[in-house]
């Protein structure tokens, strides 16, 4: 059985790591936005867990989908006025 190429390129480990770090930084930016608009910094364990999950998932999705994911997130942020 022959595997078909579905258009996804194979990237090396350092490239995937850089994409993960970029996506995690973007996720961290999304988490920090409410702090700039006056939200309190006194977070409980649930809020810290959700924020960590958001940062890690942004990193993972960025390492998988790359520029497509980052472009989608930046378009959403742009449409919100950030």
Task: Report pLDDT for 8.
Answer: 55
Of 15, 46, 50, the C-alpha closest to 30 is 50
Q: What is the pLDDT of residues 39-63, one digit of tens each?
A: 777 788 998 899 999 999 999 999 9
The answer, as to whether pTM is greater than 0.85, is no
Contact 21, 56 (CB under 8 A): no
Task: Report how far residue 10's alpha carbon sits from residue 20's, in angstroms, rounded to the nearest whole number.
Answer: 15
Mean pLDDT of 59-82: 85
Q: How is the chain split into domains, by residue range?
A: 13-80
Mean pLDDT of 4-23: 77
């Amino acid at each position: 059985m022959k595997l078909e190429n579905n258009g996804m390129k194979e990237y090396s480990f350092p490239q995937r790591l850089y994409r993960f770090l970029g996506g995690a930084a973007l996720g961290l930016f999304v988490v920090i936005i409410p702090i700039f608009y006056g939200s309190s910094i006194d977070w409980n364990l649930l809020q810290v867990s959700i924020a960590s999950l958001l940062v890690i998932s942004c990193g993972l999705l960025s390492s998988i989908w790359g520029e497509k994911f980052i472009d989608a997130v930046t378009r959403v942020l742009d449409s919100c006025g950030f």
